Amino acid sequence: MSDGRVSVVSKVAVVTGAGSGVGRAVALELLEAGWSVVLAGRREEALTETARLAGGGPPAPVVPTDVASPERVDALFAAVRERFGRLDLLFNNAGSFGPRGVPLEDLSYEDWRSVVDTNLTGAFLCAQAAFRLMRDQDPRGGRIINNGSLSAHVPRPDSVAYTATKHAITGLTKSLSLDGRRYGIACGQIDIGNAATEMTERMSAGVPQASGEVVAEPVMDVADVARTVRHMASLPLEANVQFATVMATAMPYIGRG
């Protein structure tokens, strides 16, 4: 095209936190399904590795982004608009657990703020930017899928910052779902329990339970999460998975306490 954009022959997605874990798995699943996927995250080298793992097909654009920075988020979505002219899906995935094993009374303000800035403010900024693009494009509309957590339902010990932000993500999901109706924007949330990623490597060694015990927990293949996101993303905009829970079958969630 004369304006430098690529010709849109597939749906366009932005995946944040695409350099590892769930974000990488979802990005690769969407690419395999024929989507054009913009890879966003803090670490350029990790994003480049995700793009390399995708193998054949058009290269996935890599856009290093700190989602807690309004300026960097604006730059990310400006790059999407410039390259593709539209956006069909935002997988709002970037997140941080924060320091592990720190009791609430010892958690520093800086650590609290860092988790809130990434998990909640970052998700809001990306959703807002995606919302504006989806509202103004032709044809109008799109889908936002927020990555929640089982911590959006019940906490783990010593996880106040992470748990509070994941509860807030549920409120964000509901508000986006309501406010997006007039623009044809659907929003849903996936709550994940114990997908096998770098973040959950410690599960096999044992993690603290509400009883005070330290117990090894089952995990599931992260590919099962990616397939679930792909299904949610593939629905027509007239249909929406509002909330989905995908978890290792035997993990201590049902009956936790």
What is the rounded distance in angstroms from the CA atom of residue 234 to the CA atom of residue 203?
31
CB 6 within 8 A of CB 28: no
Say which of 109, 162, 183, 253 is annotated catalytic. 162
Residue type for 79, please?
A
What is the rounded distance in angstroms from the CA atom of residue 68 to the CA atom of residue 126?
9
CB 128 within 8 A of CB 77: no
CA 143 to chain centre: 13
CB 129 within 8 A of CB 77: yes
Q: Where are the alpha helices (DSSP H) in 85-196?
A: 109-116, 122-136, 160-179
Q: Indicate if 162 belongs to the active site.
A: yes
Cβ within 8 Å of residue 8, ≥6 positions away: 36, 84, 85, 86
φ/ψ region of 183 (left if φ > 0, alpha if ψ in -120 to 50, else beta) reads alpha
CB 185 within 8 A of CB 178: no
Length of the chain: 257
Residue type for 209, please?
Q
Structure tokens, 232: 């949610």
**Active-site residue list:** 162
